[in-house]
Chains A and B, each alone.
Chain A
Amino acid sequence: MKKEKEILLTIFKSKMFYVSIVLLIVLFLLDAFHVRVGVSKTDTDALLGVAALKSALFQFISMLKIVPPIFLMIGLLDLWVPRETMIRLMGEKSGMIGVLIALFIGTMSAGPLVAAFPVAQIMLKKGARYSNVLFFLTVWASAKLPILFFQATELGLTYTVITNITLLLIYFAGTLVIEKILTKEEKKQIYTLAENS
């Protein structure tokens, strides 16, 4: 438990934490001077600061509902899948199979992008190819299956098909380019970061 507490306390070392506190104070000041920015039409009496805290809490809770199985699977994957298997499936020489696995896991997943980071990290730790992991991340961010159905009903099939095919093609090419742009040293750093997690 001591280690957990230590990790949780690192929040007070994060700049973003203080930045968000300052922004919240600004919102409450705006409220105090009755300046109106944003805030939905239906809810004009709501205070900006309160609205921000409310939606932060709401987002946080909806994230917590999704992550338990993700982290459970990360743990299971870490202990049960040997490094050799991951290298064979998604490593340097995996070819299209690695790409397709990245695509499959990316589209099948649920949850915000931030939940994908630890998944990507365990893939790297087990020796998956960098471009495949990056492809998985980009797919998770924009082409999840349940979202696609919703997209088609709201915005039309043509739009959904065109945007997603274009995105997938560019992401596929782009991840290979990024892999080339990063130097050996930089990639090694990324893998070391994953291995030490």
Chain B
Amino acid sequence: MDLSTIILYAVALVLLVVSVIKDKEKTKKAVKKGWMAFINIVPVLVPLFLVVGIVLSVLTPQTIEQVLGQDTGIFGVIIGMLVGSIAFMPPFVTYPLGAELLDNGAGYPQVAAFMTTLMAVGLVYWVAETKYFGRKAVVLRNSLAFIASGVVALVVWGVMV
């Protein structure tokens, strides 16, 4: 478990204890609310993680290296953004992959395009996010993330190439 998870547990625990001391009944209700919020998300989580598993098994770091490896230029940036929007990867896989892509000859802008969309554009989250905020909000948020990634790639291009 990493540090932020431990901090999260510690903070939640302290708040829980304070809550119990102040008002037992209210705490019971709060725990029940949290539990229901969790139950509510489970039906979207199961298919979500099935899709994530499928994406992870097909779009492996090796596949991505083949696609993004040597590619330079604006074309590489666009491919990077598209692959990043579809793919899903946990951060601890993402960054070493980025470093490896750089070692294999991909440029910083292409890697930036891929990695920022990978984290911010979540096509795998589509259904879950729609359930919480409605379709238009989801389209807009993902568009913003996509545009931001494009700009980041261009800025990186300007500064680092």
Interface centre among A17, A56, A62, A144 (most CB of B within 10 A): A56
Stretch at the interface among A86-94, A96-104, A185-193: A185-193
List B contacts of A144 (CB < 8 A): 4, 91
The one of B40, B99, B111 in contact with A197, judged by C-beta atoms closer than 8 angstroms, is B40
List A contacts of B79 (CB < 8 A): none
Please state if A37 and B29 are interface contacts (CB–CB under 8 Å). Answer: no
A62 to B91 alpha-carbon distance, docked (Å): 13
List B contacts of A71 (CB < 8 A): 34-35, 37-38
Nearest B-chain residue to A192, judged by Cβ: B134
- Would you call the interface of chain B mostly helix, strand, loop, or mixed? helix
Nearest A-chain residue to B122, judged by Cβ: A113
The one of A41, A57, A62, A154 in contact with B53, judged by C-beta atoms closer than 8 angstroms, is A57
List B contacts of A21 (CB < 8 A): 50
The one of B49, B60, B148, B160 in contact with A167, judged by C-beta atoms closer than 8 angstroms, is B148
Inter-chain residue pair count (beta carbon < 8 A): 277
- Known A-B contacts A69-B12, A141-B119, A150-B95; A114 and B127 likewise in contact (beta carbons under 8 Å): no
A8: interface (CB < 8 Å): yes
A7 to B36 alpha-carbon distance, docked (Å): 9
Please state if B58 and A48 are interface contacts (CB–CB under 8 Å). Answer: yes
Nearest B-chain residue to A119, judged by Cβ: B37
A79 to B35 alpha-carbon distance, docked (Å): 13
List B contacts of A65 (CB < 8 A): 1, 5
A134: interface (CB < 8 Å): yes
Say which size band chain A's interface belongs to.
35 or more
User: How many residues belonging to B are interface residues under a CB distance threshold of 8 Å?
Assistant: 86
Chain B, 14-35, contact with A by CB distance < 8 Å: what is the 0/1 string?
0110010000001101111111
Nearest A-chain residue to B92, judged by Cβ: A150
Please state if A113 and B125 are interface contacts (CB–CB under 8 Å). Answer: yes
Please state if A4 and B96 are interface contacts (CB–CB under 8 Å). Answer: no
A27 to chain B, nearest CB (A): 7
The one of A3, A20, A118, A151 in contact with B47, judged by C-beta atoms closer than 8 angstroms, is A20
List B contacts of A137 (CB < 8 A): 141
A190 to chain B, nearest CB (A): 6
A190 to B135 alpha-carbon distance, docked (Å): 10
B132 to chain A, nearest CB (A): 4
A73 to B9 alpha-carbon distance, docked (Å): 10
The one of B29, B51, B96, B159 in contact with A20, judged by C-beta atoms closer than 8 angstroms, is B51
Q: Which 5 A-B pairs have the closest CB atoms?
A: A56-B53, A75-B34, A69-B12, A20-B50, A154-B95
Interchain residue pairs with CB less than 8 A apart (25): A19-B47, A48-B57, A51-B53, A51-B56, A56-B54, A57-B49, A59-B56, A73-B34, A75-B32, A76-B34, A108-B7, A114-B129, A141-B119, A155-B99, A166-B152, A167-B116, A170-B148, A171-B148, A174-B148, A181-B140, A186-B134, A190-B133, A190-B137, A193-B133, A197-B37
